[in-house]
Amino acid sequence: MYINERFKEINEEFDGNKNSHSFIFYTNDFDNCKKDVYTLIKNINNVDNLNKISSDLQIIEKSDKNKILKEEVSNLKSFFQTTSYINKYRIYVIEEVHKLNPSSANVILKFLEEPSNGIIAFFITTNLDSVLPTIKSRCQTINVFYEINNELDNNEFDLIEKFLYNSKPYDIFNAKKLFEKYERTDLINMFEQYLNYLYKKLNEKDIIIIRKLNRAITLLNKNVNIDYVLDYLMLGSE
């Protein structure tokens, strides 16, 4: 059983041979998305255990490293070039595709540009904006959001709503003053909690705000100037 029903739809596309050969799963919950991805892999290969398709499955797992090395991707590519075809689909998973750098991404692009019959790519990310455009342009991007409880108090919730949806560019100075009393860590926490609220709504029309908030949180964690981050949230384009 899938946690997110979007995977059931993808499963049906495979059943009808209408599937893409490469997917990026953009999610707010890595662990649950990972479970759904591997459930999908088992289902499309008609097995109940991933060990049964280990000869046709390669995974670059989530790690504490800041980037995925070229060597890791080269080893993955070599695996498919030197081993035989056993199961219905041969699959490779990159659990944090946003960690590919230009060097490691170039190695994998050949697979994406000229997909071999039966080889499927599943990529997972919680940071779609950091995925290289060359990768995104060759994949079907699937937004899979999971319900998370909202913990913002009413004042903070109203503050963020007003800032993101009601403030106008000409009133940016007054809008930014609403956040003067908050420290960087406070803003990160507030934005994360508002993201959780948007994920709970599971409304596709909020996807631009979701992406901008993710980007804002990344900038704040990198100690980028707070005024710049707030300007980006109000004026930045997607």
Tell me how many domains the chain contains.
Answer: 2
Q: Are residues 120 and 221 in the same domain?
A: no
User: Bigger pLDDT: 170 or 138?
Assistant: 138
Q: Which of 118, 144, 170 represents a domain boundary (last residue)?
A: 144
Q: Are residues 175 and 139 in the same domain?
A: no
Does residue 177 belong to any structural domain of this protein?
Answer: yes
Give me the mean pLDDT over the 37-53 stretch: 93
Q: What are phi and psi of 91, to 5 degrees?
A: -135, 140
- Alpha-carbon 215 to chain mean position: 12
Q: Which pTM does this prediction carry?
A: 0.69
Q: Are residues 20 and 84 in the same domain?
A: yes
Find out whether 20 and 140 touch, Cβ atoms under 8 Å.
yes
Does residue 149 belong to any structural domain of this protein?
Answer: no
Amino acid sitting at position 198 = L
**Domain of 14: which CATH number?**
3.40.50.300
Does residue 162 belong to any structural domain of this protein?
Answer: yes
Find out whether 221 and 150 touch, Cβ atoms under 8 Å.
no
Residue range of the domain that includes 19:
6-144
Q: Is the pLDDT of residue 238 over 70?
A: no
Q: Are residues 99 and 211 in the same domain?
A: no
Find out whether 165 and 194 touch, Cβ atoms under 8 Å.
no
Give me the mean pLDDT over the 92-118 stretch: 88
